[in-house]
Chains A and B, each alone.
Chain A
Amino acid sequence: MSDLTRRSAAELAAALADGETSSVALTRAHLDRIAAVDGAVHAYLHVDAEGALAAARESDERRARGESASRLDGVPIAVKDVLTTVGMPTTCGSRILEGWVPPYDATVVARLRAGGLPLLGKTNMDEFAMGSSTEHSAYGPTHNPWDLERIPGGSGGGSAAAVSAFAAPLALGTDTGGSIRQPAAVTGSVGVKPTYGGISRYGLVAMANSLDQVGPVTRTVLDAALLHELIGGHDPLDSTSIDQPVPDVVGAAEQGATGDLRGLRVGVVKELTGEGYQAGVQQRFDETVALLVEAGAEVVEVSCPHFVHALAAYYLIMPSEASSNLARFDAMRYGLRVEPEGVEAPSAEEVMRATRDAGFGDEVKRRIILGTYALSSGYYDAYYGRAQQIRTLISRDFAAAFEQADVLVSPTAPTTAFKLGEKLDDPLAMYLNDLATIPANLAGVPGISVPAGLADGLPVGFQVLAPALADDRVYRVGAAVETALTGRWGGPLLDQAPALPTTEVAR
């Protein structure tokens, strides 16, 4: 295994700055790693070796001139396939977009390119980000590098698996109900869902516009902060993006890494622990809270009584928005086009119907039906309207809790990674995975998941939530947890992951 792929993005950036390595060398090392392990993991839907190496060469030339486009200039990255990319297909894990190459870059992708980061490829995901296991990808599931029989979480299982399999030092994910944080938890990686509006959504193929947020998927908290700093900030193309400077997330991560949390008030959310949480998960959580106390934090229990309704509200708002967003996939302008069988000269409507029938998977159809129903006249008030009221109550719960505590903490997911196929036929059981992550999306607040150890040999995640715009706090606390735990483990949690079967790569 190449030494380069084991290093963090911050270390790679330092090595590039020192002239110890080149962007081409480390991009090639990651492409080799992808070739070696991705047959087993299937984190990527598309790998762009040529494009990545071309960008790496440019980065090296820039550095040779004594210039640098960003702190991460030359460090390669993987991008979730829900973000548009010029020159690379963007399928959203769906048949209906098979082969579609967008004519424009998502703003975050444009910022990566401008920052000099070679794009390794596009990562696998549940179709249109609908799922918690990446099993709903039309292109086959991604496997958890800790146990290839198990799910890597979802919807962003591809990005989480790519970084935890050392097939990318950095990745972008998107989080609508936990799609960055839950995969991070079950793969032993770091995932951040920033404040809603903190990072541009332009070019993010929307599942639920009012909940979606782009964020970093990495192996260390500092790497996440460096990536956040690069892609964050106002975008005139996204009216919902916040016109304020990005909080000093890198500084906060560095501060947290000192391990000093004196003066910090930490709230344990009563409703997000205990019943329904796997014993090992709960145990790792309790131990981590104890570490926070050791670091000088004051821990209190807080109650957010309306969180128990979060899942129900989420499964009305998200499908409602999704049902409308997905209406555009109608075979008229791009993507899949299926003509109905046995119909001569089919009408536009018949082609739309046949295409949508063939192009969307079951989970997508399930949510389109749910959302269409929830928005129907006569039901709107009882479903969509009521869900919005609950959303308001959840925001108020957060506001009240943040009066008592600077950050809130919980396990990221109720269980460790389950077996592939185990919950496929039980959508409700699948939905329960996002129980602890969904409230943050409904309220628009930032959250991080950092590794908290293993339960029965599988990673457990620790979630930190902060008030909107206070993203720096989740980095500070996340980094403190990371420092304390890696000290105790004698190295990153991922060092404990079993070696992956590799395919010999001919060079």
Chain B
Amino acid sequence: MMDFDEALEQFDPALGLEVHVELNTATKMFCGCPAAFGGEPNTHVCPTCLGLPGSMPVVNGKAVESAIRIGLALNCSIAEWCRFARKNYFYPDMPKNFQTSQYDEPIAFDGYLDVDVEGETFRVEIERAHMEEDTGKSTHVGGTTGRIHGAEYSLVDYNRAGIPLIEIVTRPIVGAGVKAPLVARAYVQQLRDLILALGVSEARMDQGNLRADVNLSLAPKGSDRLGTRSETKNVNSFRSVERAVRYEISRHAAILAAGDAVVQETRHWHEDTGITTSGREKSDAEDYRYFPEPDLVPVAPSAQWVEELRGTLPENPTAKRARLQAEWGFSDLEMRDTVGAGALGLVEETITAGAAPQAARKWWLSELARRANEEGVELSDLAITPAQVARIQALVDEGKVNDKLARQVFDGVLAGEGEPDAVVEARGLAIVSDDGALSAAVDDAIAANPDVAEKIRGGKVAAAGALIGAVMKQMRGQADAGRVRELILEKLGAGEG
């Protein structure tokens, strides 16, 4: 392994990202089975998605529509006529031992996505977005690695087989230099935001709705050729995308600096240790024997339909970011941090749910970002919704809790104790502003601190802080500090004028 910065002094990285998006259509790509996540194994299946002899596929029109909308949102051209193709290879979780995909006739091609990285815009060119079907899911039982080698036996669940996927492939991204890991991360984040805005997928990386393969190669600095690439499969969080790129840059650099050749291969990403390990060797000569799927007729979306779909697109992401920044009154830095944290959509939804922009930003980027970081998950994977965050802020605004108590409300919601109001109730977190209870506590504090009380009576109002602290301690923090102060001054006859 070579130090990351040192590696980038010697080499130029080229990135390539292949992102698979599982669509949220009601049914599968080529049959009428439900495409819902989960279900008892092998219950969402039929002759077609099990690949039984004689079965035939029928294209899901809704999936084609989603594919076109994704293509349009990525500024792609939409094919006037394209076909599905068979990608032939043997694997137990592939019911037909070929995947029905698209090869040289993708539904969408030649587009781009502008991504913001630390205030700088990188244009990521999209080579293609094509439709395909997912495979089944194998579980390898026994053995130590959870991989097929060394397993005692394997179980296959075909519920996932045939779920529609859109694979979005970038052109090689060059020139990012030291920012390559950030560009990779930002691309996946902003692509996910776009997919969510389109409403075509749940886009949850932890559930595999959105899966990224990271291709990386290094070339000697200044060279205009691309080096040999590795393909790191199924990198399933934004952080991991960034880390995997960093890791592969260091790994490639060490190999090349030692005068060795990088092996073209697929690699596995290990979330726990932050490294990649060799998968199967893969060369460009790996032969999938693609040919047009003879059981399907070509997809030929009319120009009119494509234009209709263009009309359903959400706002362009770059324009939208500018608009939101202006509306929210965020500084450039605040906006950049929000986007960088993958929190733009979350903050937006929180504001829509009623929170003030700065409050929404504050919770997501400090309190919740800290917790996500501690748990090693994405912000969006935390068990809290923007609506819940907005409600907690509303409780603060209403004076029902203070910031400190609000943190305990977050604890409760994240622990699955229910909605914010229920957590406040169950944990007894509401601020006490009832003068009876407070008054007694103030009396206790005055009695216990006669010296301080005397100073206040003598006009040293600043000394009130000590008494407030004592009251708050007695009330276990659940008191309105402003009201406590008023009561103390009132009782000691030291009004502030």
Contact = CB atoms under 8 A, between A and B. Distances in A.
A396 B476 CA distance: 90
B289 interface: yes
A204 interface: yes
Interface in A189-206: 201-206
Contacts of B297: 239-240
B59 A239 contact: yes
Given A84-B53, A202-B55, A333-B50, A324 B90 contact: no
A324 B289 contact: yes
A328 B96 contact: yes
Contact of B289 (A203, A237, A349, A376): A376
Interface in A292-333: 320-321, 323-324, 327-330, 332-333
A200 to B, nearest CB: 9
A489 interface: no
Given A239-B59, A240-B297, A84 B54 contact: yes
Interface stretch (A102-110, A259-267, A417-425): A102-110
Contact of B90 (A84, A327, A380, A384): A327
B440 interface: no
B47 A104 contact: yes
B56 A201 contact: yes
A377 interface: yes
Contact of B154 (A205, A240, A348, A377): A348
Contacts of B88: 323-324, 327, 375
B54 A202 contact: yes
A132 interface: no
Contacts of A384: 291
Given A239-B59, A348-B154, A377-B285, A83 B296 contact: no
Given A324-B98, A328-B96, A376-B289, A239 B54 contact: no
A104 B52 contact: yes
B95 interface: yes
Nearest to B89: A327
A210 B156 contact: no
B341 to A, nearest CB: 43
Nearest to A105: B54
B58 interface: yes
B294 interface: yes
B367 interface: no
B53 A97 contact: yes
Contact of A239 (B58, B86, B287, B291): B58
Given A327-B98, A372-B289, A102 B294 contact: no
Interface string B5-39: 00000000000000000000000000000000000
A187 B90 CA distance: 41
A97 B54 CA distance: 12
What is the interface residue range for chain A against chain B? 35 or more
A90 interface: yes
B380 to A, nearest CB: 36
Contact of A103 (B52, B56, B58, B296): B52
Given A239-B295, A332-B156, A375-B289, A102 B59 contact: no
A87 interface: no
B57 interface: yes
B92 A102 contact: no
A98 to B, nearest CB: 13
Nearest to B51: A328
Nearest to A356: B90
Counting chain A CB atoms within 10 Å of each CB, which of B90, B154, B296 scores highest?
A: B90
Interface string B34-77: 00000000000001001111111111000000000000000000
Interface string B77-120: 00000000010101010011110000000000000000000000
Nearest to B88: A324
A352 B156 CA distance: 15
B437 interface: no
B289 A239 contact: no
Given A102-B53, A205-B53, A330 B97 contact: yes
B148 interface: yes
Interface string B289-307: 1110011110000000000
Nearest to A345: B152
Contacts of B291: 320-321, 324, 375, 380, 384
B98 A239 contact: no
A273 interface: no
Given A320-B291, A332-B156, A376-B287, A348 B54 contact: no
The A interface is mostly helix, strand or loop, or mixed, namely loop
Nearest to A371: B289
A334 interface: yes
Contacts of B59: 239
A79 interface: no
A102 B52 contact: yes
B295 A209 contact: yes
Contact of B58 (A237, A330, A375, A377): A237
Contacts of A52: none
Counting chain B CB atoms within 10 Å of each CB, which of A100, A330, A372 scores highest?
A: A330
Interface string A331-349: 0111000000000010111
Contact of A352 (B51, B90, B287, B295): B90
Nearest to B287: A377
A495 interface: no
Interface in A405-433: none
Interface string B254-267: 00000000000000
B55 A332 contact: no
A327 B88 CA distance: 8
A328 B57 contact: no
Contact of A209 (B51, B95, B152, B294): B294
A328 B56 contact: no
A349 B91 CA distance: 8
Given A209-B295, A239-B296, A327-B97, A349 B54 contact: no
A210 B294 contact: yes
A236 interface: yes
Contacts of B287: 376-377
Nearest to B58: A239
A330 B92 contact: yes
A338 to B, nearest CB: 16
Given A209-B295, A324-B291, A203 B92 contact: no
Interface in A336-390: 345, 347-349, 352, 372, 375-377, 380, 384
Nearest to B149: A347
B58 A349 contact: no
A102 B291 CA distance: 28
Nearest to B59: A239
B146 to A, nearest CB: 16
A238 interface: yes
Interface in B143-191: 148, 152, 154, 156
A268 interface: no
A334 B289 contact: no
A206 B54 contact: yes
A203 B56 CA distance: 8
A347 B92 CA distance: 11
Contacts of A320: 291
Contacts of B290: 375
A334 B297 CA distance: 28
Contacts of A84: 52-54
Contact of A237 (B52, B56, B95, B98): B56
A111 to B, nearest CB: 15
13 contacts: A90-B53, A202-B55, A208-B294, A239-B297, A240-B294, A324-B88, A327-B90, A327-B97, A327-B98, A333-B50, A347-B148, A376-B287, A376-B289
Closest 10 CB pairs of A and B: A327-B97, A375-B289, A209-B294, A210-B294, A205-B53, A203-B54, A84-B54, A205-B54, A328-B96, A348-B92
Given A83-B54, A239-B296, A334-B52, 9 more contacts: A84-B53, A104-B55, A201-B56, A201-B295, A204-B54, A238-B295, A321-B294, A328-B53, A330-B97
